Amino acid sequence: PMYLFLGNLSLLGDGLKRVLSKPKMLQSLVSEARGISREGCANTDVFLQFFGISECCLLAAMAFDRYMAICSPLHYATRMSRGVCVHLAMVSWGVGCMVALGETNYIFSLDFCGPCEIDHFFCDLPPILALACGDTSHNEAAVFAVTILCTSSQFLLIIASYGRILAAVLSMPSPEGRQKALSTCSSHLLVATLFYGSASVTYLRPKASHSPGIDKLLALFYTVVTSTLNPIIYSFRL
């Protein structure tokens, strides 16, 4: 199961980087043609959300896998069969697809006023909403609520899984057993911390504390740096 989930995590990270770097960003860097169509911006945004939400769900599935491996080792092979793991991965991709399509359609149905200049590296939700006409507070609240619902439910599942794992590890009599159990979780815990930490700082900060420079730096870390570090982190464990 670990390798199946890692394969999906690698695909999500690679897809996210490809959406952001190819071909529009590279074209903008080497030429003065820095415009993007409304449809192109919507496509970038939908794939950005798709890969991000899917990774969020997949990290929760991986936490559940670690919980089953440590807290129910005798039943692990039957309860976490290949079919179950494939279904968990498919659900992660499906949830990401539905949320991304719904939010993107909702945002791009708004009317946009000039100047239509996105002060960002790519088409992300906050800078796009800033270009919409009129009061967008209700739209921002709706997007914020959906994002919180999707991410917080997965985050709570991760917290609950590691709470049970910690209780099981502390009850182990041998220090070697505790160290071995914790070592199987260290890579996933570090990856989840980087992902949720950077995403939370990027999207859940108060609007008054946003600044274009900091937002660009955080977005670069959240989308590119984190996904680049994932295989490096897991290679230490493997």
List the domain boundaries for the chain: 1-177
Q: What is the tens place of the pLDDT at every residue in 194-209? A: 888 777 776 666 555 5
Assign 132 to helix, strand or coil: strand
pLDDT at 238: 46
Cβ atoms of 165 and 70 within 8 Å: the answer is: yes
**Selection from 89, 13, 103, 23 nearest residue 52 by Cα:** 13
Contact, 113 vs 94, CB < 8 A?
Answer: no
Q: Are 129 and 31 in contact (CB under 8 A)?
A: no
pLDDT > 70 in the chain, percent: 86
**92 pLDDT band (50/70/90 cuts)?**
very high
3-class SS at 112? Answer: strand
Q: What percent of the chain has pLDDT over 90?
A: 10
Residue 129 has pLDDT above 60, yes or no: yes
pTM of the predicted structure, to 2 decimals: 0.84
Helix (H) or strand (E) holding 216: helix 212-220
Tens-place pLDDT, residues 41-56: 888 888 888 988 898 8
Average pLDDT over residues 90-96: 92
The pLDDT assigned to 136 comes to 73
| Mean pLDDT rounded to a whole number for the chain | 80
Give me 151's structure tokens. Answer: 């991410």
SS3 23: coil
